[in-house]
Amino acid sequence: MPLLVQPALARGSLASAPQPTLEVPDRRLVLRPWRSSDAEAVREAYQDPAIQRWHVRRGDSVAEVREWIDAWRATWAEESAGHWAIAAPDAEGGTVRGRMALKRLDLYDGVAEVAYWVSPAARGTGTCRAALEALTRWAFGTAGFHRLDLEHSTANPASCRVAVASGYVLEGTRRAAALHADGRHDMHLHARLAEHTRITEEA
Ligand SMILES: CC(C)(COP(=O)(O)OP(=O)(O)OC[C@H]1O[C@@H](n2cnc3c(N)ncnc32)[C@H](O)[C@@H]1OP(=O)(O)O)[C@@H](O)C(=O)NCCC(=O)NCCS
Protein backbone atom coordinates (compact mmCIF):
# COMPACT_ATOMS: atom_id res chain seq x y z
CA MET A 1 0.00 0.00 0.00
CA PRO A 2 1.46 3.45 -0.90
CA LEU A 3 2.65 5.63 1.94
CA LEU A 4 0.84 8.96 2.27
CA VAL A 5 3.79 10.77 3.88
CA GLN A 6 7.50 10.98 3.22
CA PRO A 7 9.47 9.06 5.89
CA ALA A 8 11.53 11.40 8.06
CA LEU A 9 14.75 9.51 7.23
CA ALA A 10 15.22 7.39 4.13
CA ARG A 11 16.28 3.76 4.60
CA GLY A 12 20.04 3.61 4.17
CA SER A 13 20.58 7.23 5.16
CA LEU A 14 22.65 6.10 8.17
CA ALA A 15 24.17 2.82 7.02
CA SER A 16 25.34 4.20 3.66
CA ALA A 17 28.28 5.76 5.56
CA PRO A 18 30.45 4.30 8.31
CA GLN A 19 29.38 5.07 11.88
CA PRO A 20 30.93 8.48 12.61
CA THR A 21 33.22 9.55 15.41
CA LEU A 22 31.80 12.67 17.08
CA GLU A 23 33.77 15.38 18.85
CA VAL A 24 32.62 16.39 22.33
CA PRO A 25 33.20 20.18 22.28
CA ASP A 26 35.29 21.71 25.08
CA ARG A 27 36.20 18.26 26.44
CA ARG A 28 39.08 16.00 25.61
CA LEU A 29 36.57 13.35 24.61
CA VAL A 30 35.09 11.77 21.51
CA LEU A 31 32.16 9.48 20.84
CA ARG A 32 33.58 6.69 18.72
CA PRO A 33 32.35 3.29 17.56
CA TRP A 34 33.16 0.50 20.00
CA ARG A 35 36.21 -1.69 19.35
CA SER A 36 36.90 -5.27 20.39
CA SER A 37 39.83 -3.93 22.39
CA ASP A 38 37.35 -2.04 24.65
CA ALA A 39 36.05 -5.32 26.07
CA GLU A 40 38.06 -5.21 29.30
CA ALA A 41 36.98 -1.61 30.00
CA VAL A 42 33.32 -2.56 29.45
CA ARG A 43 33.65 -5.68 31.63
CA GLU A 44 35.17 -3.51 34.36
CA ALA A 45 32.38 -0.89 34.06
CA TYR A 46 29.76 -3.62 34.45
CA GLN A 47 31.24 -4.56 37.83
CA ASP A 48 29.80 -1.27 39.12
CA PRO A 49 26.61 -1.86 41.15
CA ALA A 50 24.89 1.26 39.70
CA ILE A 51 25.53 0.16 36.10
CA GLN A 52 24.34 -3.35 36.96
CA ARG A 53 21.26 -1.91 38.65
CA TRP A 54 20.17 0.42 35.87
CA HIS A 55 21.31 -1.65 32.88
CA VAL A 56 20.27 -4.98 34.37
CA ARG A 57 23.33 -6.89 33.21
CA ARG A 58 26.68 -8.20 34.42
CA GLY A 59 29.69 -8.77 32.25
CA ASP A 60 31.45 -11.87 33.54
CA SER A 61 34.24 -12.34 31.02
CA VAL A 62 36.07 -10.41 28.34
CA ALA A 63 35.01 -13.03 25.76
CA GLU A 64 31.34 -12.50 26.62
CA VAL A 65 31.70 -8.71 26.48
CA ARG A 66 33.41 -8.96 23.08
CA GLU A 67 30.25 -10.64 21.82
CA TRP A 68 28.14 -7.70 23.07
CA ILE A 69 30.52 -5.30 21.37
CA ASP A 70 30.19 -7.26 18.11
CA ALA A 71 26.41 -7.04 18.48
CA TRP A 72 26.57 -3.28 19.21
CA ARG A 73 28.72 -2.73 16.13
CA ALA A 74 26.34 -4.74 13.92
CA THR A 75 23.36 -2.51 14.71
CA TRP A 76 24.72 0.35 12.56
CA ALA A 77 24.48 -1.64 9.32
CA GLU A 78 21.01 -2.82 10.36
CA GLU A 79 19.97 0.79 11.19
CA SER A 80 18.43 -0.50 14.40
CA ALA A 81 20.73 1.36 16.85
CA GLY A 82 24.01 3.23 17.17
CA HIS A 83 26.40 2.51 20.03
CA TRP A 84 29.35 4.76 20.87
CA ALA A 85 32.12 4.68 23.46
CA ILE A 86 32.70 7.96 25.29
CA ALA A 87 36.49 7.93 25.19
CA ALA A 88 39.61 10.02 25.34
CA PRO A 89 41.01 10.77 21.87
CA ASP A 90 43.40 8.05 20.62
CA ALA A 91 46.29 10.53 20.80
CA GLU A 92 45.60 10.75 24.55
CA GLY A 93 45.29 7.02 25.20
CA GLY A 94 41.72 6.34 24.05
CA THR A 95 40.53 5.35 27.55
CA VAL A 96 36.84 4.49 27.74
CA ARG A 97 34.87 6.85 30.03
CA GLY A 98 31.37 5.64 29.27
CA ARG A 99 28.72 4.72 26.75
CA MET A 100 26.24 6.66 24.62
CA ALA A 101 23.65 4.95 22.46
CA LEU A 102 20.75 5.71 20.18
CA LYS A 103 18.35 2.79 20.48
CA ARG A 104 15.03 1.87 18.87
CA LEU A 105 15.75 3.80 15.68
CA ASP A 106 12.48 4.59 13.93
CA LEU A 107 13.49 6.10 10.61
CA TYR A 108 9.91 6.56 9.43
CA ASP A 109 8.96 8.82 12.34
CA GLY A 110 12.49 10.16 12.87
CA VAL A 111 12.44 9.08 16.52
CA ALA A 112 15.09 7.30 18.60
CA GLU A 113 15.89 6.78 22.29
CA VAL A 114 19.15 7.79 23.98
CA ALA A 115 20.87 5.64 26.60
CA TYR A 116 24.08 6.11 28.57
CA TRP A 117 26.34 5.20 31.42
CA VAL A 118 29.56 6.75 32.65
CA SER A 119 32.38 4.80 34.33
CA PRO A 120 32.46 5.45 38.10
CA ALA A 121 35.81 7.29 37.96
CA ALA A 122 34.53 9.75 35.34
CA ARG A 123 31.25 10.71 37.05
CA GLY A 124 30.22 14.03 38.52
CA THR A 125 32.18 16.29 36.15
CA GLY A 126 29.62 16.81 33.41
CA THR A 127 30.88 13.98 31.17
CA CYS A 128 27.42 12.59 30.57
CA ARG A 129 25.81 15.94 29.79
CA ALA A 130 28.60 16.95 27.39
CA ALA A 131 28.53 13.59 25.58
CA LEU A 132 24.72 13.61 25.41
CA GLU A 133 24.78 17.12 23.93
CA ALA A 134 27.24 16.00 21.24
CA LEU A 135 25.11 12.97 20.34
CA THR A 136 21.90 15.04 20.37
CA ARG A 137 23.33 17.68 18.03
CA TRP A 138 24.56 15.05 15.59
CA ALA A 139 21.21 13.20 15.72
CA PHE A 140 19.19 16.39 15.01
CA GLY A 141 21.74 17.93 12.66
CA THR A 142 23.58 15.51 10.39
CA ALA A 143 21.36 12.46 10.92
CA GLY A 144 18.00 14.26 10.68
CA PHE A 145 16.04 12.82 13.60
CA HIS A 146 13.11 14.90 14.89
CA ARG A 147 12.61 13.59 18.42
CA LEU A 148 14.81 11.81 20.94
CA ASP A 149 13.29 9.97 23.90
CA LEU A 150 15.13 9.38 27.19
CA GLU A 151 13.74 7.03 29.83
CA HIS A 152 15.00 6.34 33.32
CA SER A 153 13.65 4.77 36.49
CA THR A 154 12.00 7.28 38.84
CA ALA A 155 14.44 5.90 41.45
CA ASN A 156 17.45 7.18 39.45
CA PRO A 157 17.74 10.93 40.26
CA ALA A 158 21.20 11.32 38.67
CA SER A 159 19.84 10.27 35.29
CA CYS A 160 16.83 12.58 35.76
CA ARG A 161 19.22 15.45 36.49
CA VAL A 162 21.19 14.74 33.30
CA ALA A 163 17.96 14.60 31.27
CA VAL A 164 16.53 17.88 32.59
CA ALA A 165 19.86 19.71 32.42
CA SER A 166 20.23 18.54 28.79
CA GLY A 167 16.88 19.94 27.67
CA TYR A 168 15.03 16.61 27.68
CA VAL A 169 11.63 17.75 28.97
CA LEU A 170 9.75 15.44 31.35
CA GLU A 171 6.58 14.34 29.54
CA GLY A 172 5.22 11.86 32.06
CA THR A 173 5.64 8.62 33.97
CA ARG A 174 5.20 5.21 32.37
CA ARG A 175 3.90 3.20 35.32
CA ALA A 176 5.54 -0.18 36.04
CA ALA A 177 7.07 -0.03 32.55
CA ALA A 178 10.47 -1.64 33.12
CA LEU A 179 11.57 -4.82 34.82
CA HIS A 180 14.57 -4.44 37.14
CA ALA A 181 16.27 -6.93 39.45
CA ASP A 182 14.09 -5.73 42.37
CA GLY A 183 10.86 -5.70 40.39
CA ARG A 184 8.99 -3.32 38.11
CA HIS A 185 9.93 0.37 38.08
CA ASP A 186 7.96 3.42 37.07
CA MET A 187 9.86 5.15 34.26
CA HIS A 188 10.11 8.87 33.56
CA LEU A 189 9.74 9.63 29.87
CA HIS A 190 11.71 12.71 28.80
CA ALA A 191 12.15 13.92 25.23
CA ARG A 192 13.91 16.63 23.27
CA LEU A 193 12.70 17.90 19.89
CA ALA A 194 14.83 19.04 16.97
CA GLU A 195 12.73 22.16 16.55
CA HIS A 196 13.70 23.24 20.07
CA THR A 197 17.39 22.79 19.32
CA ARG A 198 19.29 25.42 17.34
CA ILE A 199 21.95 23.59 15.39
CA THR A 200 24.69 26.16 15.04
CA GLU A 201 27.37 23.88 13.70
CA GLU A 202 27.54 20.86 11.46
CA ALA A 203 28.06 17.87 13.78
C1 LIG B 1 23.67 8.84 35.41
C2 LIG B 1 25.13 8.97 34.98
C3 LIG B 1 25.24 8.52 33.53
C4 LIG B 1 25.55 10.45 35.09
O5 LIG B 1 26.88 10.57 34.59
P6 LIG B 1 27.79 11.85 35.00
O7 LIG B 1 28.87 12.01 33.99
O8 LIG B 1 28.16 11.75 36.43
O9 LIG B 1 26.73 13.00 34.80
P10 LIG B 1 26.98 14.57 34.87
O11 LIG B 1 28.22 14.86 35.67
O12 LIG B 1 26.88 15.11 33.49
O13 LIG B 1 25.69 15.05 35.67
C14 LIG B 1 25.23 14.33 36.80
C15 LIG B 1 24.18 15.18 37.47
O16 LIG B 1 23.45 14.34 38.36
C17 LIG B 1 23.57 14.86 39.67
N18 LIG B 1 23.56 13.72 40.57
C19 LIG B 1 24.48 12.76 40.71
N20 LIG B 1 24.09 11.86 41.64
C21 LIG B 1 22.86 12.28 42.05
C22 LIG B 1 21.91 11.80 42.98
N23 LIG B 1 22.13 10.67 43.68
N24 LIG B 1 20.76 12.50 43.15
C25 LIG B 1 20.51 13.63 42.45
N26 LIG B 1 21.37 14.13 41.54
C27 LIG B 1 22.52 13.47 41.36
C28 LIG B 1 24.85 15.63 39.68
O29 LIG B 1 24.88 16.60 40.70
C30 LIG B 1 24.79 16.28 38.28
O31 LIG B 1 23.88 17.36 38.23
P32 LIG B 1 24.40 18.88 38.29
O33 LIG B 1 25.47 19.02 37.28
O34 LIG B 1 23.20 19.68 38.01
O35 LIG B 1 24.94 19.06 39.67
C36 LIG B 1 26.08 8.13 35.88
O37 LIG B 1 25.84 8.48 37.22
C38 LIG B 1 25.90 6.63 35.70
O39 LIG B 1 26.49 6.03 34.78
N40 LIG B 1 25.11 6.01 36.58
C41 LIG B 1 24.90 4.56 36.54
C42 LIG B 1 24.20 4.10 35.27
C43 LIG B 1 22.97 4.92 34.99
O44 LIG B 1 22.29 5.43 35.86
N45 LIG B 1 22.67 5.03 33.68
C46 LIG B 1 21.50 5.74 33.21
C47 LIG B 1 20.35 4.80 33.16
S48 LIG B 1 18.89 5.67 32.59
Say whether pLDDT at 199 is over 70.
no
Ligand 1 cavity residues, CB under 6 Å: 50-51, 54, 116-118, 123-129, 152, 156-159, 161-162, 165
Say whether pLDDT at 200 is over 60.
no
Helices (H), the chain: 39-45, 49-55, 62-78, 127-138, 157-165
Determine the distance separating the centroid of ligand 1 and the alpha carbon of 94, expressed in angstroms. Answer: 22
pLDDT at 202: 45
| CATH superfamily ID and name for 22-196 | Gcn5-related N-acetyltransferase (GNAT) (3.40.630.30)
Question: Which amino acid, 193?
Answer: L
pLDDT tens for 97-133 read 999 999 999 999 999 999 999 999 999 999 999 999 9
CA-nearest of 84, 39, 33, 88 to 61 is: 39
For range 139-163, the mean pLDDT: 98
Determine the distance separating the centroid of ligand 1 and the alpha carbon of 3, expressed in angstroms. Answer: 42
Question: Which amino acid, 27?
Answer: R
pLDDT at 203: 40
